[in-house]
Structure 1
Amino acid sequence: MDGTVGSQFNAGRSGVSGGPSVGVQIQNDRRLPDFLQSVNLKYVKLGYHHLISHLLTLCLIPIMAVIFVEVSQMNPNDIRQLWLQLKYNLVSVIVCSAILVFGSTVYIMSRPLPVYLIDYSCYRPPDHLKAPFHTFMDHSKLTGDFDESSLEFQRKILQRSGLGDDTYVPDAMHQIPPVPSMAAARDESEQVMFGALDNLFRNTSIKPKDIGILVVNCSLFNPTPSLSAMIINKYKFRVNIRSFNLGGMGCSAGVIAVDLAKDLLQIHRKTYAVVVSTENITQNWYFGNKKSMLIPNCLFRVGGSAVLLTNKSSERRRAKYKLVHIVRTHKGADDKAFQCVYQEQDELGKTGVSLSKDLMAIAGGALKTNITTLGPLVLPVSEQLLFFSTLVLKKLLNKNVKPYIPDFKLAFDHFCIHAGGRAVIDELEKNLELMPIHVEASRMTLHRFGNTSSSSIWYELAYMEAKGRIRKGNRVWQIAFGSGFKCNSAVWQAMKNVKATRDGPWEDCIDKYPVKLVL
C-alpha cells in the first residue's frame, strides 16, 4: 500500500487559557516539479532503444512485402526464365535460400505473440461497508487511539482528499473497537478476490481449469499459504498452473503483474492468464498519532480487480483490448526515493506506512523518466521531431531554450491516472496539458471508490466504458505510481467499441457522474 497525496502537514500545539488548543495547517503548495522543462537525454535514448530493438523486424516486413509483390506480378514465362537462370547458378540459389530461411527464422523467433485482454472485473463491496466522513470520524474518535490533533488532521485530509461519502472500508474497521486480526484480514482478501473472480468467470464463460497462469499482487498482506494459493484452493485450478504472488510493490504493482503475465504468455502458448490486483486494509490501519502515517487511513479503501489475458489468436474477435506497450521505471537506487513510502513502526511500536514530504517531487522525477522513455514509442513522428530538435538545441546551443512539450493527447485517446490523491491528478492535468474530460475518470474513481491501490486504474477504465467512450482503435494509457519508488505505464488499444461489463462497479450509479467536486 502506498499513497500519493500532495499535502504538507504541520501540527502545532500551544497551551492557551489553561487548556490545550490544536492548530493543524494543511498546505497544498507541494507540487510536482515541472518535469517537462528539464528532460534527461539518456531517457530519450532509452525510449529509442526500445524502438530500435524491433528494427530488424520492421525492416524485414517491407522487404518481404516487396518480394511478394514482385513475384505476384510475374507471368509463367518470367518464372520459367528465372528457373533457367537459377538452374545453372547453384551459388545464387544457395545464397538466396539461406537469406530467405534466415530472415524468416529471425522474424518468426523475434516477433512477440500478441497479448489480448478478453475482459476484466472490478469488485463492488456491499453497501454496509460504506464509510461516510461522519462515520469515519466518529469511529476514529471512539477507538480512543487518536489524540485531538490527529483527529483534526484526519478531518482536514478527508476534506481535501477528493473522496466522497460512498467509499468502503473492511468490516473489521466498522467494529468498535476495530478487530484487525489475521482471520479478518483473510476474510477481506477472500471477499475482494473471489468477488472479482466470480464475476470475471461468469462474464467470460472461462473455466478455472483453462487458466494456465495466475499472478496476484497485494502489497502489505502476504499470508502463508499465499493469496495465489487461496485462489487456487477456492477454484480448484489445475496442478501445473504457473502461479506468482507479488508483495511490497505498491500501487503500481498492477502494471507489473500484467507485464509478468505478458512475458509468461510469450513462453507458454495458447493459454490464459489471470491477473488479480488488490490491497488489504484490515491489518494495515494505523492506530497512532504520527501525522505522516495517518494519511493512508484517509485515502485507502477496499477494492480489487481481476483481468483475463490470453495469447490465443482464436480469442482475438471477442477481446476488448490488445496490449501495445509496457514501460517500467524504478528509482529505488536513490535513497530518498526508496524511503519516501516506507512501512515502519512509530515510537510506540505501532505499524503504519509513512509518506515523506518529498513524495511529490520524487513522483514527478519518476514520471518524467517514464514518459520520456515512453514518448518515442507512442508519439507521432511530427511530435518527436519537434521535441527532439528543441532538446538538441537546448543541449548544444542554449540552455535557456524551452523544450517543446509533446502533446500526448495525439498519442492517447483516454487516460487512466492512478487515483492516489487529488493533488497528483491536478498536477498531471496541468503538466501534460490535459483537458478536464481526460482526468474525469481518475477524479470520479477517487470520489466513488477512494484509492484502491493497484486496482484503481481498472475502475477508471470501467468508468469510461460505462460512459460509452471507448471506440475501436482508441488507445488507453494506464499510469500508476508505487513504493520503491516506481512509475509504470501500460498502453492498450481497443479491439472494438467496448461496452460496459455486466455487473460492473458503475452499473447503478454511472448516470450520477461526473459530480461537482468541492475543492
Structure 2
Amino acid sequence: MTSFTIMELLLAIISLVSLFYSLFGLCKLIILQWRGQSCYMLGYECYKANEERKLNTDSSTKIILRNKNLGLEQYRFLLKTIISSGIGENTYAPRNVIEGREECPTLLDAFIEMDDIFFDTLDKLFAKTGFSPSQIDILVVNVSLFSPAPSLTARIINRYKMKEDVKAYNLTGMGCSASLIAIDLVQQLFKTYKNVVAIVVSTESFGPNWYCGKERNMMMSNCLFRSGGCSMLLTNKPALKNHAILKLNCMVRTHYGSNDEAYGCCIQVEDEQGQRGFRLTKCLVKAAAHALTINLQVMVPKVLPLWELIMSSIVSLRQAGKKNKGLIRFDMLGDGLNLKSGIEHFCLHPGGKAVIDGVGRGLGLNEYDLEPARMALHRFGNTSAGGLWYVLGYMEAKKRLKKGDRILMISLGAGFKCNNCVWEVIRDLEDVNVWEECVHSYPPETVGNPFKEKYGWINDEYLSFVRLDHSCFSFS
C-alpha cells in the first residue's frame, strides 16, 4: 500500500469520525432543547464603587507607606510591579483599606464589603430585568475567602425575603474561575428543575485579606486585586428565550490540582511573620498554559466547524513525529487551529498583563481580541471571579456583540483550574452598563500610570547607601 493510499485512508477515517461526532453533538443539542435544559442569560449587573474608594497614585502610596514592614527593596519591587501591571488609576479598594484599617479588619468590615456588592448589583438587576426576588428559584453565591454562618446566600435570602423553597448554594475557595463554576452548577440544576429562574452572584472578599507583610510573592496580590463583582440572572424557561441576551452553548471545566507545582502557584498562606495573604509564584503562567491546553482539547471539537477540525487533524498528522505528539501544545494552538472559525469574541479573565499576553500569544489572538481584557484590567483591576463580566460589559458597551456571535469565556483560578464556556448572542447588545461614564475614553493612548514619573527616583543608586526617610514622599 502506497503512502498516498494510507493518507487517503486516514483522511477518510478522520472525516467519518468527525461527521459522527458532529451528528452526535447535534442530536444531543436537539434532545436538550426538547427537554428544556437550555441555559439563557436574561441580564447581568457589574459593581462599581463610589469615587471615595478610588485607588489612584497618591492613595496607593499612602497605603504602602503605612506598612512599616517595608523597606527600600520592597518599595522598588512594588514600583516595578505596579508600573508593569497594566492597571490604571481608577480601580477601587475595599473600604477598610481606604480608611486605614487593613491590619485589623473586623467581621463587620467583611459583611459591609459583601453587602455593598451584593445589594447594589442585585437591586439594579431586578430593576433592569423586571423580575422580583420572589420569582427566584435557585441562588448561587461564590466568594472564595469569606464563609460566615449563616451563609452569604442566607444573607441575601433574608434581605430580599425570598420564598421558602429557593435552592441555595454557597461556593467558597474556588478562586478567580468560580463564576463559571457557579454557572455550570446552575446549568446542571436546570436538568432537574424545569421552568425555573436562577441568580448567580460572583465576587471576592478582599478587605479582610489584604496582605500587610513584605514577602514579594504575596505583595503582588495587593497590586493586582481590586473590589468588584457581578450578579447574573439565568433561566431555562423556553417562554423567556426572546427576553434573553445570551445562550450557553457549552461548558468545559478542567482541574490541574493533581500537579503539585500548579496547586501551589496561587495559594493562601501565612508568611514567616504570620501575616496571611495570597502567594502568586512564577509557576502561575506555566500552570495556566497547561490547564488551558487540557481544557481546549475538549472544548475545541465542540465549537469549531467540521472542516476546521479536519484541517487541524491533517496538521497534527504531519507533526506526529514531533515531541509530545499526543498533546496539543498550548504554544502551537494559534498555528494548528483557527479558533476564529467558530468564535467571534474572546472574553479573557483579566487576571494580569502576563496572563493576558500569554493566552493571546498561545491562541494567536490580535490586539483587537485582547483589548476588552486589557481595558477591564486597566479600569477595574483583577476583580477575581467577577472579572469576566467587566470584559463582557466592555464588548457590549463598544457595540461589538451582534446577534449570532459566539463568545469564548476563558477563566483561570487557584487550584489550579481552567473553566471555559461559549455563549451565543441572542440579539444585538448595546447596553453601556458599568462602562457608561468612561467607555468613550477607551482604549486610552497609553495604559501606563504616573507611578514611574512620580516615584521613579526611588530606583536611584544613591538611595542604597542611605536610610530612606518616609517624609521624602510627596502626595501633592
TM bracket, shorter-chain basis: 0.7 to 0.9
Say if 2:81 is the partner of 1:157.
yes
Instruction: Give the C-alpha shift of residue 359 in structure 1.
Output: 1.1
Aligned residue for 1:496?
427
Pairing of 1:76-87 with structure 2 (within 5 A) = none
**Cα distance in structure 1, aligned partners of 2:440 and 2:416:** 37
Instruction: Give the C-alpha shift of residue 59 in structure 1.
Output: 9.0
Instruction: Give the C-alpha shift of residue 202 in structure 1.
Output: 0.5
Aligned residue for 1:125?
49
Aligned residue for 1:58?
27
Structure 2 residue corresponding to 1:148, chosen from 63, 72, 88: 72
Say if 2:258 is the partner of 1:333.
yes
> After alignment, is 355-364 or 484-493 more displaced?
355-364
**Cα distance in structure 2, aligned partners of 1:315 and 1:175:** 45
Classify 1:195/1:386 alpha carbon distance in 2 versus 1 (closer, same or farther; 3 Å): same
Instruction: Give the C-alpha shift of residue 52 in structure 1.
Output: 4.5
**8 Å Cα contact 1:168/1:302 also seen in 2:** yes
**In the alignment, residue 261 of structure 2 is paired with which amino acid?**
K
**8 Å Cα contact 1:181/1:282 also seen in 2:** no
Say if 2:198 is the partner of 1:265.
no
Classify 1:459/1:59 alpha carbon distance in 2 versus 1 (closer, same or farther; 3 Å): closer
Can you give the 5+ residue segments of structure 2 that lack an aligned partner in the other structure?
1-13, 326-331, 449-476
Aligned residue for 1:379?
304
**8 Å Cα contact 1:421/1:451 also seen in 2:** yes
| TM score, norm. by length of structure 1 | 0.78
Aligned residue for 1:279?
204
1:12-42, CA deviations, whole angstroms, 9 ceiling, x for partnerless residues?
xxxxxxxxxxxxxxxxxxxxxxxxxxxxxxx
Structure 1 residue corresponding to 2:162, chosen from 224, 237, 242: 237
User: SS at 1:267's partner residue?
Assistant: coil
**8 Å Cα contact 2:289/2:359 also seen in 1:** no
Aligned residue for 1:346?
271
**8 Å Cα contact 1:465/1:499 also seen in 2:** yes
Aligned residue for 2:352?
421
Instruction: Give the C-alpha shift of residue 393 in structure 1.
Output: 3.5
Instruction: Give the C-alpha shift of residue 128 in structure 1.
Output: 0.6
Aligned residue for 1:412?
343
Say if 2:439 is the partner of 1:510.
yes
**In the alignment, residue 436 of structure 2 is paired with which amino acid?**
E
Length, aligned pairs only: 424
Aligned residue for 2:125?
200
RMSD (Å) for aligned C-alpha atoms:
2.3
User: SS at 1:488's partner residue?
Assistant: strand
Aligned residue for 2:10?
none
User: SS at 1:344's partner residue?
Assistant: strand
User: SS at 2:105's partner residue?
Assistant: coil
Instruction: Give the C-alpha shift of residue 400 in structure 1.
Output: 9.9
**Cα distance in structure 2, aligned partners of 1:344 and 1:117:** 36
Structure 1 residue corresponding to 2:152, chosen from 227, 246, 259: 227
Pairing of 1:322-471 with structure 2 (within 5 A) = 322-395=247-320, 397=321, 405-471=336-402
**Cα distance in structure 1, aligned partners of 2:258 and 2:218:** 23
**8 Å Cα contact 1:57/1:110 also seen in 2:** no
**Cα distance in structure 1, aligned partners of 2:51 and 2:304:** 43
Say if 2:102 is the partner of 1:171.
no
**Cα distance in structure 1, aligned partners of 2:324 and 2:390:** 42
Aligned residue for 2:456?
none
**8 Å Cα contact 1:326/1:491 also seen in 2:** yes
**Cα distance in structure 2, aligned partners of 1:60 and 1:462:** 28
**Cα distance in structure 2, aligned partners of 1:142 and 1:234:** 36
User: SS at 1:161's partner residue?
Assistant: coil
**Cα distance in structure 2, aligned partners of 1:320 and 1:369:** 29
**8 Å Cα contact 2:36/2:194 also seen in 1:** no
1:44-84, CA deviations, whole angstroms, 9 ceiling, x for partnerless residues?
x9xx99x94982862997xxxxxxxxxxxxxxxxxxxxxxx
**Cα distance in structure 2, aligned partners of 1:331 and 1:193:** 30
**Cα distance in structure 2, aligned partners of 1:251 and 1:200:** 22
**Cα distance in structure 1, aligned partners of 2:162 and 2:72:** 50
> After alignment, is 231-240 or 381-390 more displaced?
381-390
Aligned residue for 1:8?
none
**Cα distance in structure 1, aligned partners of 2:366 and 2:390:** 20
**Cα distance in structure 1, aligned partners of 2:33 and 2:54:** 51
**8 Å Cα contact 1:162/1:517 also seen in 2:** no
Pairing of 1:5-154 with structure 2 (within 5 A) = 52=21, 55=24, 58=27, 107=31, 113-154=37-78
**In the alignment, residue 220 of structure 1 is paired with which amino acid?**
L
Say if 2:141 is the partner of 1:212.
no
**8 Å Cα contact 1:137/1:151 also seen in 2:** no
**Cα distance in structure 1, aligned partners of 2:159 and 2:177:** 26
**Cα distance in structure 1, aligned partners of 2:250 and 2:25:** 18
**8 Å Cα contact 2:114/2:205 also seen in 1:** yes
1:402-421, CA deviations, whole angstroms, 9 ceiling, x for partnerless residues?
88521111211111100000
**Cα distance in structure 2, aligned partners of 1:306 and 1:518:** 28
Classify 1:60/1:495 alpha carbon distance in 2 versus 1 (closer, same or farther; 3 Å): closer
1:182-215, CA deviations, whole angstroms, 9 ceiling, x for partnerless residues?
1111100110111111110010010101000001
**Cα distance in structure 1, aligned partners of 2:371 and 2:234:** 27
User: SS at 2:279's partner residue?
Assistant: strand
User: SS at 1:516's partner residue?
Assistant: coil
Classify 1:108/1:292 alpha carbon distance in 2 versus 1 (closer, same or farther; 3 Å): closer
Instruction: Give the C-alpha shift of residue 144 in structure 1.
Output: 2.3
Classify 1:53/1:243 alpha carbon distance in 2 versus 1 (closer, same or farther; 3 Å): farther
**Cα distance in structure 2, aligned partners of 1:60 and 1:482:** 29
User: SS at 2:84's partner residue?
Assistant: helix
Classify 1:211/1:184 alpha carbon distance in 2 versus 1 (closer, same or farther; 3 Å): same
**Cα distance in structure 2, aligned partners of 1:475 and 1:115:** 15
Aligned residue for 1:25?
none
1:289-336, CA deviations, whole angstroms, 9 ceiling, x for partnerless residues?
111111000000000000000011111111001110101110011111
**Cα distance in structure 2, aligned partners of 1:426 and 1:224:** 40
Aligned residue for 2:239?
314
**In the alignment, residue 127 of structure 1 is paired with which amino acid?**
E
**Cα distance in structure 1, aligned partners of 2:22 and 2:172:** 31
Instruction: Give the C-alpha shift of residue 108 in structure 1.
Output: 7.5
| TM score, norm. by length of structure 2 | 0.85
**Cα distance in structure 2, aligned partners of 1:335 and 1:53:** 36
Identity in percent: 38
Classify 1:56/1:480 alpha carbon distance in 2 versus 1 (closer, same or farther; 3 Å): closer
**Cα distance in structure 2, aligned partners of 1:187 and 1:146:** 29
Aligned residue for 1:11?
none
Can you give the 5+ residue segments of structure 1 that lack an aligned partner in the other structure?
1-44, 62-106
